[in-house]
């Protein structure tokens, strides 16, 4: 790894960590970059989890420093997602590189469309729904979110935000605090699978983790508003270009 690669990975990690914490989709930047730097898709997917794990430790700590901490239901959702992530990670280990690239390209385009069309609801508009039936639905949904997250991670933040706002009508602040906690929990299982299978490049992973963690720490302490137009435009343009590259080459 040369100096340019270190700077590039740190910069991408910084942006990815902030985006992941405020909304989702940061892995749509970091994952393709790792592939383009020469890592096989399965290794890039696994290596990215080192940064995701570290990032969410700092994000959880950042939210906690502002008085926003996980509650009991978050733990239930995290455990459900963890069980699903084991399945997803096993699928990711066995999939062929070319197929993985095409799946990633499709997911990137879909997430971009959701990014452009979707708008977060203002905090406090809706009354929370936390009855028993909604919690059963949420726990089941998060098992499948865990499968997806264990498999590819990219864009999982949007799925979590949509689920928590749709099922429980949580505010964006609460949703993001739950999101980073759940991702932290299920990433443990996914990372264990990837480490056991020998798919992690620790050098790239640690450098990326430094960037992601820094972005997550500051983003979690600043604002949960994802309306930064500059970042959205940068994300959309970059993701479209990378998706085309992945699909055609």
Residue 124 has pLDDT above 60, yes or no: no
| Per-residue model confidence as pLDDT tens digits over 216-238 | 988 877 654 443 454 455 456 65
Residues 6+ apart with CB under 8 A from 130: 73, 168
pLDDT at 67: 75
In this prediction, residues 173-193 reach a mean pLDDT of 91
The percent helix, strand, coil of the chain (3-state, each to 5) is: 80, 0, 20
pLDDT at 2: 85
Residue 69 has pLDDT above 80, yes or no: no
Give the Cα separation of 161 and 209 in Å (integer): 23
DSSP state of 95: S
Phi/psi at 30 (5° precision): -70, -40
In this prediction, residues 27-48 reach a mean pLDDT of 89
Residues 6+ apart with CB under 8 A from 39: 47, 201, 204
Residue 122 has pLDDT above 50, yes or no: no
Residue 86 has pLDDT above 90, yes or no: yes
Find the range with the poorest average confidence among 26-30, 95-99, 209-213, 225-229: 225-229
The mean of the pLDDT values for the chain is 82
pLDDT at 211: 95
Q: Judge whether 201 and 42 are in contact, CB under 8 Å.
A: no
Q: Judge whether 173 and 123 are in contact, CB under 8 Å.
A: yes
In this prediction, residues 70-87 reach a mean pLDDT of 92
Give the Cα separation of 64 and 70 in Å (integer): 8
Flag whether the pTM goes above 0.85.
no
pLDDT at 139: 95
* Domain boundary assignment for the chain: 3-248
């Amino acid at each position: 790894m040369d100096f340019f690669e270190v700077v590039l990975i740190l910069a991408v990690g910084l942006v990815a960590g902030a985006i992941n914490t405020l909304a989702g989709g940061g892995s749509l930047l970091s994952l393709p970059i790792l592939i383009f730097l020469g890592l096989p898709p399965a290794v890039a997917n696994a290596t990215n989890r080192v940064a995701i794990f570290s990032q969410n430790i700092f994000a959880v700590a950042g939210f906690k420093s502002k008085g926003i901490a996980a509650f009991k239901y978050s733990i239930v959702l995290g455990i459900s997602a963890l069980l699903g992530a084991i399945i997803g990670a096993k699928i990711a280990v066995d999939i062929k590189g070319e197929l993985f690239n095409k799946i990633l390209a499709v997911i990137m385009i879909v997430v971009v469309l959701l990014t452009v069309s979707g708008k977060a609801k203002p905090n406090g508009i809706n009354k929370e729904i936390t009855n028993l039936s909604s919690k059963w639905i949420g726990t089941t949904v998060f098992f499948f979110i865990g499968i997806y997250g264990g498999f590819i991670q990219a864009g999982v933040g949007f799925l979590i935000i949509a689920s928590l706002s749709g099922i429980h009508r949580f505010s964006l602040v609460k949703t993001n605090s739950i999101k980073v906690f759940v991702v932290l929990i299920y990433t443990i299982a996914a990372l264990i699978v990837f480490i056991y299978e020998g798919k992690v490049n620790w050098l790239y992973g640690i450098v990326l983790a430094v960037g992601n963690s820094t972005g997550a720490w500051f983003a979690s302490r600043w604002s949960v508003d994802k309306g930064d137009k500059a970042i959205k435009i940068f994300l959309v343009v970059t993701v479209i270009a990378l998706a085309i590259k992945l699909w055609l080459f």
